[in-house]
Chain A
Amino acid sequence: MKRRLYIALTILVASLHVACDDVTFMEGTTSPQSPILESTAARSRLTTGGLESLYEIRWANGVPLEFERRVVSTDFEYLALGPLDDSIDVTSWSIAVENERTTLRAEVEGFETVVPLRIEQGVGTRICRVRVKADRMDASVPINTRSQVDPDAEDPTALSALGSPTVEFTRRRTELIGSCPPLETSTALNGELDSDILTYVDDASTKFALSIADISPSQELGLLDHDVELGHVTPFDIRAGTLTIFSQPAPESSRLNTNGYTLDFDMAVESSRARCAPPGTLNPADARSPAPIPASVLESTDADAAYALSIRTLSALAQNGVRAGLGCIGLEDGSISDESEDAVSTDDLDLERVGLGELKPGSLAVPVISFGEFPTVENVPGTNVIEIGWDKFVIDIYAEIQGVPVRILHLTTTFEFALQPALSRQGSLQLQIGSIEVESAEVTSRWRHEDAQVGDLKQWARRLIILLFEDRLQLPLPVEPGAPLELVTTQVRDDDLLLLLRIDSRL
């Protein structure tokens, strides 16, 4: 089971503090239905520099230099070269685009490989080894998307070699390793045998050059290009639902051109309802595809990659996340302690404001979240703000009375908060609360005496939301854990949220 974190899901997941350990990931889906995919729900772009970095990462452990055994004709009864089973470390990668033709170049400083020779003469067999060295190896191969190479290819969005590669060596020579008595008495090494060995290495290098082209940028970046199903792991069965994300590369959307690589995705989101979720119908934002990602955006921000997810998909994921029960959280270990991630001090709750000043509960409290309606997600272009609206958002606060966790108050509120994406540590996007507007707030409690004075509940609710969610809204990046990506910046555009990312092979 491979874990992947997806931006659209995790807006809500992060908002409501469901931890990664509370979600199961499954590739593929158990859903029997084939949904209608939203066309071009997401776009991605990779610069040529980013692509170079991906190749570097892809082949960080060396590129195989392999070739089968080859028998050559010599004076010996039997002489075979190989097999080759080596790995070559590429010193640098570069991509050049000329006349709409993209060429991948791999430079190897200090090329070296060892070719085994199997010599049979009479009853004896001798294995000798010949080192082939060169000051430099330059391999170049034209590349393109597989859909251009072979329309029927598996994974048409991946890149492969288009045409024959070129491999050149600088100051290539051979040298015998150790002694090889059969050759010492023969002049073959300096003649045809030497030529055979170099031809053998040429052929292996051609195969090498062809293989280096193979890469799937979307998989290397961990972008969602297949279906996944996420389930809420919870001891409370009423909170157990599933969220399914259907995704596939948009047909004929993978392109390799002057400015790099682009790929679009068609997506759909569905969920099986957890019983804690509201029973209504979903109403995600209107369908509009993300705008194309201009290369200039990446250049101006020094980003290697960009990912734009439509607001509609964000909205669908948020609503389906709620429907799947991912937002129904709190008190899943049945206790209140300082080990509880969501615990807050009761002193910080300002209970007096809600007429509970005389209650004197235990020192810690935990919130339990549930929903009366599905959230709305809207963007505010030009402000870098995403607004999430919650109608009938329910927070139950539990604290200890006589050592027993009890609900001390019940808040139902309608509010909207504006979130601003901000930079954060590697692997995540911090969502800062820019503003909160509370439209209504109602607090009920059996623990309030009848003469208790109650203050401004909207203000109190606003303060509570900040207390519970401020600095806790993290949006994991849509990449596999450990992927060498860091967030450069974000933009909220007319119809999408754009993430600009840098690839760092050192990470």
Chain B
Amino acid sequence: MDSIHTPYRRPGSALCRAVVVLVLLGGVLAGCDPSGDGRCEPACNSGEVCNRVTGECVPVRLKRYEGKAPGRGLAMTATGGRIFLGAIEPRNGYLLVGSLSDGQPRMYILRQFQQVGDRSLAMDSTDDRVVVGWLAEDGRYRLATHRLDGEPDRWSTVQIQGASNLDYVGTHDFDVTLDNSGVIHLAFRDERTDTLRHISIDTEAQWSLQDIDTRADEGDEQASCPDGTALDAREGLGVDPDLVVRGSDLLVGYHDRACGDLRLARRLEDDWAVSTVDQGTAGDPMGSTANITGRHPSLAVDSSGRLAMVYRDVSGSRLIFAFQRNGEFEFQIADRGSELGDFSQRRKHLVGQFATLTFDERDRPRAAYLDATDATLKVAHRSESLDEDASFGQQTIDADSPNGFSSRIVFDPSVGLVAGSETLSPTPDGLASGLQIIEDGDLP
């Protein structure tokens, strides 16, 4: 008997293959479909996105900024052999963050401001994190962080639990720092009260708000301007605050605009102790307490934990360096603001704006600041550490166009000293903001 057999596909085999195909297809589709099975629970905060594959919330990937790096409101911090930057692109209002790569800035767009105005940025870092802060249009501060072990274009907005309950109106007078336990500290001048206040945000995004200096404390010897040095029509406390962490201490230096003085506040547990560092007579016993001083203070701590600061003496238009020794502040003139003129006479230069301070590898103070007469960046350098008596020298860091605005100087053991400032290039369309970076070999 002849019979023709059609091979019989076992229905199970085909079905099995189809199932396999479907399973595989489903798996592939699951990997491609954003509404796939990798949900993030709880939902990610604003400023983070959900990785559907891993089901984890990850920082937003920022868009790369391809233009020439600007320098407006420059902020810098150094950590782990890297230099991180924050700056504002004034024409488009971009807030840019990034870092130096082979000496060149690689920047990303964090957000866009509707108006740039007098905006400034604050930045700080620890061994594992960088934080940047800014004042938003609604008068509230915003913060973003970047993990050093993350991709360079990944930044997270810090969510502050119940942030809308924080009772303040921010100003451009603020600073940000990170302590070693990961708590973010923000010191600022409150616009409503013209006083200095402090916000801290812990790793659980829990915040606290407290007053640092209101000039209203009973028994506060700072309650009124000393010796009748009050400046009529000038009010305000907490101008140009600069925050620094020293061990478990939190310190902030700031300008008292009403009295024209430099003040220092130190946090002791939950309270703040305020003192006046300079009433206008530092470095000049014949000076007057009516002098205005203490603008643009910048604080730094050397390897021994000694606190130092540089700041602008407005009345004398000079840069003053102060450091603690045996519990008292000693003062030096870091830059008198006196240069030789064209005709061999001494000419007064306005120096000290945007002052910024760091210590180098030999614990010697280094300050960067603006010489407003020549519109150049200057660096003042002390020849010895604070263990020795020494004087300051100054060096001008020139550029093809006016520079020195928003000056910054940082130190990292791996990178060395790095200074930066905004350059303002005159063009037929006005001033174009640029970024000038000066690395260790070119600094005194």
Residues of A within 8 A of B (CB): 235-239, 275-279, 328, 331-335, 358-360, 368, 370-373, 392, 394, 396, 398, 401-407, 412, 446-452
Kindly list chain A residues whose C-beta atoms are within 8 Å of the C-beta of B336.
237
Q: Which of A402, A403, A447 contacts B426 (CB 8 A)?
A: A447
Query: Given contacts A275-B338, A278-B344, A358-B430, are A236 and B316 in contact (CB under 8 A)?
Result: yes
> Are B426 and A359 within 8 A (Cβ)?
yes
Q: What are the 7 closest A-B residue pairs judged by CB atoms, nearest first?
A: A372-B343, A275-B346, A449-B426, A334-B314, A406-B372, A238-B346, A235-B315
Q: What are 5 contact pairs spanning A and B, CB under 8 A?
A: A278-B345, A392-B342, A402-B118, A403-B118, A406-B373
Which of A332, A370, A448, A451 is B347 in contact with, Cβ under 8 Å? A370
- The complex places the Cα of A451 from the Cα of B375 at a distance, in Å, of 20
Closest chain A residue, CB of each to CB of B341: A370
How far apart are B172's CB and chain A's nearest CB, in angstroms?
Answer: 10
User: Which residue from B373, B424, B428, B429 sits with its C-beta under 8 Å from A401?
Assistant: B424
Given A394-B341, A448-B426, CB of A405 within 8 Å of CB of B316: no
Contact status B345-A360, CB under 8 Å: no
Q: Contact mask B331-355 → A, CB, 8 Å, 1/0?
A: 0000010100111111110100110
Q: Are B343 and A360 in contact (CB under 8 A)?
A: no
Q: A368 to B347, alpha carbons, bound, how many Å? A: 10
Chain B, Cβ-Cβ closest to A373: B343
B345 and A358 contact, CB distance less than 8 A: no
User: In the assembled complex, which residues on chain A have CB atoms less than 8 Å from the CB atom of B354?
Assistant: 404
Closest chain B residue to A328 by CB distance? B348
Cβ B372 vs Cβ A333 within 8 A: no
Q: Which residues of B come within 8 Å of A, CB atoms?
A: 118, 287, 291-292, 314-317, 336, 338, 341-348, 350, 353-354, 370, 372-375, 401-402, 405, 424-431
Contact B348 A236 (CB under 8 A): yes
* A334 touching B375 in the complex, CB below 8 Å, given contacts A276-B347, A278-B345, A402-B405: no
Contact A360 B292 (CB under 8 A): no
Complex Cα gap A88–B317 (Å): 59
Further pairs besides A334-B292, A394-B341, A446-B374: 16, Cβ < 8 Å: A235-B291, A238-B348, A278-B343, A279-B344, A331-B348, A358-B430, A359-B426, A370-B347, A371-B343, A372-B342, A401-B424, A404-B372, A407-B375, A449-B425, A449-B426, A452-B426
List chain A residues, Cβ under 8 A from B292: 333-334
Most chain B Cβ neighbours within 10 Å, of A334, A370, A371, A396: A334
The CB with the most chain B CB atoms within 10 A, among A403, A404, A405, A412, is that of: A404
- How many whole Å from B329's CB to the nearest CB in chain A? 21
Contact A358 B428 (CB under 8 A): yes
Closest residue of chain A to B338 (Cβ to Cβ) is A238
Which residues of chain A are within 8 angstroms of B344 by Cβ–Cβ distance? 278-279
Closest B residue to A333 by beta carbon equals B315
Write out the residue numbers on chain A whose beta carbons fall within 8 Å of the beta carbon of B317: 235-236, 331, 334
Bound form: Cα–Cα A279–B425 in Å: 36
- Contact call A404/B316, Cβ cutoff below 8 A: no
Please determine whether A407 and B372 come into contact, CB atoms closer than 8 angstroms. Answer: yes
Chain A nearest Cβ from B230, distance in angstroms = 16
Q: Which residues of A contact B374 (CB under 8 A)?
A: 407, 446
Contact assessment for A396 and B431 in the assembled complex, using a CB-CB cutoff below 8 Å: no
Contacts of B338 in A (CB 8 A): 238, 275
Residues of A contacting B426 in the complex (Cβ-Cβ under 8 angstroms): 358-359, 446-450, 452
Interface of B is mostly: loop
Are the CB atoms of B375 and A371 closer together than 8 Å?
A: no
* Cβ–Cβ contact A412 & B342, under 8 A: yes
Q: A359-B431, A403-B118 are in contact. Are A394 and B342 (CB under 8 A)?
A: yes
**How many angstroms from the CA of A331 to the CA of B317 in the assembled complex?**
9
Establish whether residues B342 and A358, one from each chain, have CB atoms under 8 Å apart when the complex forms: no
Given A407-B373, A448-B426, are A334 and B350 neighbors across the interface (CB < 8 Å)? yes
A449 engages B372 (CB within 8 Å):
no
Most buried by A among B343, B347, B402, B427: B343
Determine which of B315, B347, B402, B429 lies in contact with A358 in the assembled complex, contact meaning CB atoms within 8 Å.
B429
B316: A residues at CB distance < 8 A: 235-236, 334
- Among candidates A279, A332, A402, A406, residue contacting B345 with C-beta atoms closer than 8 Å: A279
Chain A residues with Cβ below 8 Å from B431 are 359-360, 401, 447
Residues from chain B with a CB closer than 8 A to the CB of A398 are: 350, 372
A331 contacts across to B, CB distance below 8 A: 317, 348, 350
A51 to chain B, nearest CB (A): 45
Q: Which residues of B contact A277 (CB under 8 A)?
A: 345
Chain B residues with Cβ below 8 Å from A276 are 345-348
Q: Judge whether B375 and A406 touch: CB under 8 Å.
A: yes
Residues of B within 8 A of A452 (CB): 426, 428
CA distance A392 to B428 in the complex (A): 31
Q: Which one of A328, A334, A359 contacts B315 once the chains associate, using CB atoms below 8 Å? A: A334
User: Smallest Cβ distance from A325 to chain B, in angstroms?
Assistant: 10
Chain A residues in 8 Å Cβ range of B342: 372, 392, 394, 412
The answer for the CA separation of A404 and B351 in the assembled complex, in Å, is 11
The closest CB in chain B to the CB of A372 belongs to B343
**B residues near A373, Cβ cutoff 8 Å:** 343
How long is the Cα–Cα vector from A450 to B430 in the complex, in angstroms?
12
Cβ 8 A contact of A446, one of B345, B375, B428: B375
Within the complex, what minimum Cβ distance (angstroms) separates B420 from chain A? 16
A residues near B370, Cβ cutoff 8 Å = 404
A292-B374 Cα distance, complex, nearest whole Å: 53
Contact A372 B345 (CB under 8 A): yes
By a CB distance below 8 angstroms, the chain B residues around A360 are: 430-431
| Inter-subunit contact B314/A335 (CB<8 Å) | yes
Q: Which residues of B contact A279 (CB under 8 A)?
A: 344-345
**B373: chain A residues within 8 A (beta carbon):** 396, 406-407
Most buried by A among B341, B375, B401, B427: B341
Whether A446 contacts B401 by the Cβ 8 Å rule is yes
Determine whether the beta carbon of B315 is less than 8 Å from that of A275. no
Q: How close is A329's CB to chain B, nearest CB, in angstroms?
A: 10
B291: chain A residues within 8 A (beta carbon): 235
The residues of A that contact B350 with a CB separation of less than 8 Å are: 331, 334, 398, 405-407
CB distance from B378 to the nearest CB of A (A): 13
Min CB–CB distance B233 → chain A (angstroms): 8
Q: Which residue of B lies closest to A275 (CB)?
A: B346
Closest to A448 in B: B426
List chain B residues, Cβ under 8 A from A372: 341-343, 345
Q: Of A236, A370, A449, which is within 8 A of B428 by CB?
A: A449
Query: A447 to B348, Cβ gap below 8 A?
Result: no
Instruction: Tell me the smallest distance from the CB of A273 to a CB of chain B, in Å.
Output: 9
Can you name the residue of chain A whose Cβ is closest to the Cβ of B406?
A402
Least Cβ distance of A1 to chain B in Å? 17
Q: How far is the CB of A151 from chain B (nearest CB, A)?
A: 46
Write out the residue numbers on chain B whose beta carbons fall within 8 Å of the beta carbon of A407: 350, 372-375
With the chains together, A331 CA to B343 CA distance in Å?
20
What CA separation (Å) do A447 and B429 show in the bound complex? 12
Taking the closest CB of chain B, its distance from the CB of A301, in whole angstroms, is 43
Contacts of A335 in B (CB 8 A): 314
Most B CB atoms within 10 A — which of A277, A405, A449?
A449
B405: chain A residues within 8 A (beta carbon): 401-402, 404
> Which residues of chain B have C-beta atoms less than 8 A from A334's C-beta?
292, 314-317, 350
**Nearest opposing residue in chain B for A392, CB measure:** B343
Q: Is A405 a contact of B372 with CB atoms below 8 Å? A: yes
Contact in complex: B424, A368 (CB < 8 Å): no
Residues of B within 8 A of A406 (CB): 350, 372-373, 375, 402
* CA A71 to CA B258, docked complex, whole Å: 70
B332 to chain A, nearest CB (A): 15
B118 CB contacts on chain A under 8 angstroms: 402-403
For residue B390, give the distance in angstroms from its CB to the closest CB of chain A: 22
A404 contacts across to B, CB distance below 8 A: 353-354, 370, 372, 405
> For residue A447, which residues in chain B have a CB less than 8 angstroms away from its CB?
375, 402, 424, 426, 431
Measured CB to CB, the closest approach of chain A to B208, in angstroms, equals 32
Q: Shortest distance in angstroms between B344's beta carbon and chain A's nearest beta carbon? A: 5
CA distance A396 to B375 in the complex (A): 13
